[in-house]
Structure 1
Amino acid sequence: MRVNGALGDWQSITIKFSGEVLPRERAEAFKGSMFAAYPGDLVFSKIDARNGAVGLIPSSIPKAVVTSEYPVCTPRADKLRPAYLHHLLRADHFKGELQRKASGTSGRKRVTPEGFLSLEIPVPSLAEQDVLITAYADALTRAEQLEREAEAIERAGWLAFETALGVAPPPPLPDRPVFVARFKDVELWSHEGMLRATVGDQGVRVATCPIVELGTVAAVSYGLQKSPTNRPGTHARPYLRVANVQRGRLILDKIKTINVPDADMASLRLEVGDILFVEGNGSRAELGRVALWNGEITDCVHQNHIIKARPQQSLLLPEFAMAWFNSEAGRDHFFKSGKTTSGLGTINSSVIRTAPIPLPSIAVQKALISELSAADTSAQAKRSEAATLRQSAWAAFESALFVPAEPS
């Protein structure tokens, strides 16, 4: 095809390793030869086909344009259903064959059009393809329904938790752009801060129990600051970094060490029931995220970008505190109080000490946590069922087409 200067209504594309074909932002024509591709055409990247960059042009791109690095094949409609071919390209057997077809120097191996066309693929009848596609699509539909049910269960659990405390969570933000704003409204979180200013701040209203500042029922402290003087040495101790502390959970697969003398361990050692807050993040949703320490690692400490709160457990259950500060109403305090520097939001120990928290009786805290945990367990069961359904449906699709390789 020939294009003079601008591409016009022709759309350049990119192919993800997942096989998804997406529009690419480019207005100027490519240098050299260009080729047309239309919905239903199969396109692959010579360099990245072995990594999964093989896909079908979607109907949302009526006129695609590619370079010679992206060969175009037009499947025969009397032999292949597009949906069947789309799934077939994702099969492990097919990807394995593609990798074997790649040739060239290491790091720049390519799959040639001749090599691609020499691949052998199973081609059942159109009726059989329809059966396979329908079975797989039905399984995915059921899995998506299970995931929606899980989300609904979680939302209901959090709503029940907040309702029992008499909490009014922050009002939802309108889904619209902001063109004009006062400078003082730009200070926090940019677009989100401006939208928050337009809807007002209802704050945290608690009608069913007292509300106190966290610092009145918990000791708040920083961790260790990394420096050349405390590199792992004679007294190397495991320590938590920001990456280890996620919302409501800890990721402990990668733990580093830092030097802490025995004399300092009493004040720095993490104890069961400690609540861990992340000091800074570029996302409002992640600022002040909270996890609970349950003694997973012996003699563990934490760096200074994680702030520790140790509750008086006769008044405040750690599990209840974590749940509260991971709720929309609980973490809104951090959004309002956080400071921003170059797009990074931060909170400090004073912000955490003054964070409001409802303080019902221990019995009520236990009951609320039990109900929230039950909702979470039910939601996770739905998600696990959905994941299993997806895996088994895909295994059934592949096993209908390919004979498992004999173990060597």
Structure 2
Amino acid sequence: MNARRATLPQRAGYLRVANVFRGAIDTTEIKELGVSRAELERTRIRLGDLLVVEGHGNLDEVGRAALVTALPSADLTHQNHLFRLRPNGERVLGRFPELVLNSSDSRKYFRRVANTTSGLKTLNATSVRSLRMRLAPLSVQNEIVRELDSVSNAIRAAESSSTELDELFAALQHRAFRGEL
């Protein structure tokens, strides 16, 4: 935090690139900084906002996005290497653009339009706004999100079962070599 921020009277938590993953926000460690009231009002994060990584050293991580589904604090803002998008709930479900932004097509687009300065790959607001996103009716968006969540849950369950089977096999193998079977 710079010296000017330390003198500002109001404190706010802020999310950093390190907090934003593809499809998830980790709020276990939130740093604080000094902000002006006007700055906080302009940059405050709300439920349903989308955070998009603007700059990263790894080109594949530029543009990763996550939906804000929980607020650990009412006074929460974001680092300048994150874009905050606020979807219009009458036209789009928050999870739908999150899925689109994290899709392979969007990732290819972000890799193509990212700029490089001193080792940091960055997007600008114009390139993010220029990403074409086809919007289905809300009912279809909801169905797509539900189906993709179902597939993701099935994958997680299969990975968990695989881990359990690997652990069981290792335990049985250990017991077999010790002559306990």
Same fold (TM > 0.5): yes
Mapping 1:3-402, distance limit 5 Å: 226-231=1-6, 234-299=9-74, 300-398=76-174, 401=178
8 Å contact from structure 1 (residues 330, 357) kept in 2: no
User: How far apart are residue 270 of structure 1 and its match?
Assistant: 0.6
Q: Distance in 2 between matches of 1:262 and 1:386?
A: 50
- 1:292 and 1:389 mapped to 2: Cα distance? 33
SS at match of 2:91: coil
More helix by share: 2
Aligned equivalents of 1:391 and 1:378: distance in 2?
20
Q: 1:234 to 1:331 in 2, by over 3 A?
A: same
Q: Is the 8 A contact 2:50 2:67 kept in 1?
A: yes
Query: Could you tell me how far apart the structure 1 residues matched to 2:7 and 2:141 are?
Result: 41
Structure 1 or 2, whichever has the larger Rg, is 1
Structure with more relative contact order (C-alpha pairs < 8 Å, separation 6 or more): 2
Deviations 1:332-384 (A, max 9, x none): 22122111124432101111122111111111111111111111010011011
- Give the Cα–Cα distance (whole angstroms) in 1 for the partners of residues 173 and 28 of structure 2: 33
SS of the residue corresponding to residue 321 of structure 1 reads helix
Does the C-alpha gap of structure 1 residues 396 and 235 become closer, same or farther in structure 2, counting only changes over 3 Å?
farther
Output the TM-score relative to the length of structure 1: 0.41
CA contact (8 A) 1:270 1:295 kept: no
Which whole-Å CA distance do the structure 2 matches of 1:399 and 1:232 have between them?
Answer: 63
**Structure 2 letter corresponding to 1:275:** L
Contact 2:14–2:78 at 8 Å: present in 1 too?
Answer: yes
Secondary structure, aligned partner of 2:85: strand
Name structure 2 gaps, 5 residues minimum.
Answer: none
Distance 1:356 1:392, change over 3 A: same
Identity %: 32
- State the number of aligned residues: 178
Question: What TM-score, normalized to structure 2?
Answer: 0.87
- What amino acid sits opposite 1:254 in the alignment? E
Native 8 Å contact 2:114 2:122 kept in 1: yes
Q: In structure 1, how many angstroms separate the alpha carbons of the residues matched to 2:120 and 2:58?
A: 8
CA spacing shift, 1:255–1:397, aligned 2, 3 Å: farther
